[in-house]
Amino acid sequence: MDRSAACALAVCLAAGVALCRVCRPSSAAEEAKGAGAAEVANGVVGLIGNTPLVRINSLSDATGCEILGKAEFLNPGGSSKDRIALHVIERAEQEGLLVPHTNSCIFEGTSGSTGISLAMVARAKGYLCHIVMPSDQAIEKAQLLERHGATVERVAPCSIVDRSNFVNVARRLAREYRSDEGRGYFVDQFENPLNFEAHYRTTGPEILRQTRGRVDAFVHGSGTGGTIAGVTWFLKQRVPGVRSYLADPQGSGLANKVNHGVMFASTEREGTRRRQQVDTLVEGVGLNRLTRNFARLLPQGASMLDGAVSVSDADAVRMSRWLMANDGLFVGSSAAINCVAALSIARFLGPGHTIVTILADSGQRHLTKFWNDAAMTDLGHSAVAPGSLDEFAQLLSS
């Protein structure tokens, strides 16, 4: 064999060996190492967070903006409140306030979603859970709480100054709780700064990463104030020019506080009348008092918010039906007001902007009230999706 033929044979042999190395079946361990080992969640709490950001096509196409909803209803507990529950309980464990499997009991006053999240995390970590909620909330929330192993106490709606208010009852029960080894722990979601911190550390960074920093406005309602405060603080520290807007249901005083600096006349402040102040069918958002978490948005009298949009019950119902009919999104009442406000802000800012809001929970928790068409019709609200977005826009607040 001459030299040229030998060289050619050597090249072919080398190529064949390389091809064999490429084509030979690799072990599972090698594949996992090469691709980055597949993530396995550490129990149900490992599923919390990192929810997707979904483009709401119908609203985006109609406005020329990118209207994006963070699908928090995909958390294992079904809402954004999973983040608070996990963060608060883990911090209490770190500080020795909670020890698993000691009959310690977690107490909270909630309209439902935070309670469900707490019940889920409590069961996963070895705690008891007792939830106090207003009796006018959708019954399926209480049923879900019980299925998650919590005990549920429903009390008549009343002002926060009333000893019988659901938050005050939960606080008192936690203080009075006694067991052989465990203790009672009151979460206090409205005033606990860990609520703000949970969203500052997780929800905000996720939005920044998912939008690659290209976000012009954030829109969200306020129940405890933790989500809107945490996300607003995080984004405004990192995204020049980003705006933040409050979505507020009818009957709430927060929009007036943001837009005009005054929440209410002295005769209307919470506690001057012994009844539930916020008159809305939307559950989980809207207040006539400033919580410690929301107050973070008003440092030294200045507002970090760029405005507020008041949303009527009628508009919230219309938006929920619109999203189901045109986007296949089955959202709850608080997500519906967020989307109404996001649409309003998109029309105000004009085409070409990216607006992020939160789809806090799904309609599955609102079947007997907000998603009960007959009940909505009895209240005078149309349960039929508008024929077009232009028609919807003309109906806004009409």
- C-alpha–C-alpha distance, residues 196 and 189, integer Å: 9
Q: Is 81 a catalytic residue?
A: yes
Residues 174 and 197 grouped into a single domain: no
**3-state DSSP helix/strand/coil percent for the chain, to nearest 5?**
45, 15, 40
What is d(CA 170, CA 168) in angstroms, rounded to the nearest whole number?
5
Residue 231 lies in a domain: yes
Residues 180-215 as b/e (b if ≥16 CB within 10 A, e otherwise) read: eebebbbbbbbebebbbbbbbbbbbbbbbebbeeeb
| 201 shares its domain with 61 | yes
Q: Which of 13-17, 72-76, 263-267, 390-394 has the lowest mean pLDDT?
A: 13-17
The predicted structure's pLDDT at residue 394:
63
**Do 175 and 125 have their domain in common?**
yes
* Domain contains 40: no
Model confidence at 20: pLDDT above 80: no
CATH number at residue 207: 3.40.50.1100
Domain-terminating residue out of 186, 218, 234:
186
Does any domain span residue 36?
no
pLDDT 10s digits, 192-244: 999 999 999 999 999 999 999 999 999 999 989 999 999 999 999 999 999 99
Annotated catalytic residue within 81, 125, 141, 257: 81
If asked whether residues 299 and 199 sit together in one domain, one would say: yes
Phi, psi dihedral angles at 64 (to 5 degrees): 80, 5
Q: Is 55 part of any domain?
A: yes
In a domain, 17, yes or no: no
Do residues 253 and 322 both lie within one domain?
A: yes
In the predicted structure, residue 28 carries a pLDDT above the cut 70: no
Structure tokens at 262: 């005054």
pLDDT per residue over 274-306, tens digit each? 334 446 777 778 788 888 999 999 987 678 999
In this structure, the answer to whether residues 63 and 208 fall within a common structural domain is yes
- 209 in the same domain as 167: no
Do 50 and 164 have their domain in common? Answer: no
What ranges make up the beta strands (E) of 300-353?
307-311
Looking at per-residue pLDDT, the higher value among 235 and 383 belongs to 235
| Residue where one domain finishes, among candidates 153, 186, 219 | 186
Alpha carbons 40 and 32: distance in angstroms, whole number: 12
pLDDT band at 82 (very low <50, low <70, confident <90, very high): very high
More confident residue, 210 or 398: 210
In a domain, 9, yes or no: no
Whether the predicted pLDDT of 257 surpasses 70: yes
